[in-house]
């Protein structure tokens, strides 16, 4: 039954979007985590999605989503002069993460909408399957 594969595909999309929500949550949570050196500062993280094509199977119909990895943003960090801060370095500077909270909020909404769509897809597939099981009754 290929309708079960629809469930798999929707499930892979849901787990990918959950991971995206996770990274967004940690980005927003750490938006104000300052530190005293550039290396120790938090950088915004984003997952990289890819279509899960199976090379062995030609003309594949069900294609799920896989997460290739999580990349850290290479946007410049915010360096702020704040000598009174307990974490200021020798020159009186602190480093703030390169998280753009507005972008992350938009990302969060997009991820949650995509998740909802996948849930709907799985629900419709479930209805189709249930109808099939009662065929001829």
Partner 1 sequence: MAINFDNAFGIHQYTLGLREQRAEVLSSNIANADTPHYKARDLDFASALERAKNRQGFAMSGTHERHLVASTQLGGDLQYRTPWQPDTGDGNTVDVHGERSRYIENAMEYEASMRFLNGKIKGLTSAIKGE
Query: Which residues form the interface with partner 1 (CB under 8 A)?
Result: 1-3, 5-6, 9-10, 12-13, 16-17, 20, 48-51, 58-59, 61-65, 110, 114, 117-118, 120-121, 124-125, 127-128, 131-132, 135-136
DSSP-derived 3-state class of residue 35: strand
Residue number, 5 or 45, with CB nearest to partner 1: 5
Say which residue the tokens 């915004």 belong to. 44
CA distance 5 to 129: 12
Q: How far is the CB of 111 from partner 1 (least distance, A)?
A: 8
Nearest to 1 by CA among 112, 130, 137: 130
Residue number, 13 or 44, with CB nearest to partner 1: 13
Q: How far is the CB of 31 from partner 1 (least distance, A)?
A: 22
Q: CB neighbours of 14 closer than 8 A, spacing ≥ 6? A: 115, 118, 119, 122
Residue number, 13 or 99, with CB nearest to partner 1: 13
């Amino acid at each position: 039954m290929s309708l079960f594969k629809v469930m798999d595909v929707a499930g892979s999309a849901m787990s990918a979007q959950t991971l995206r929500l996770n990274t967004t949550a940690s980005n927003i949570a750490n938006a104000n985590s300052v530190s005293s050196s550039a290396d120790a500062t938090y950088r915004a993280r984003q997952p990289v999605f890819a279509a899960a094509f199976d090379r062995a199977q030609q003309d594949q119909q069900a294609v799920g989503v896989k997460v290739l990895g999580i990349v850290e943003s290479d946007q410049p960090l915010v360096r702020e002069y704040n000598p009174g801060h307990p974490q200021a370095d020798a020159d009186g500077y602190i480093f703030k993460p390169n998280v753009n909270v507005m972008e992350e909020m938009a990302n969060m909404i997009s991820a949650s909408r995509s998740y909802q769509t996948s849930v709907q897809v799985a629900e419709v597939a479930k209805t189709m399957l249930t109808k099939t099981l009662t065929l001829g009754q």
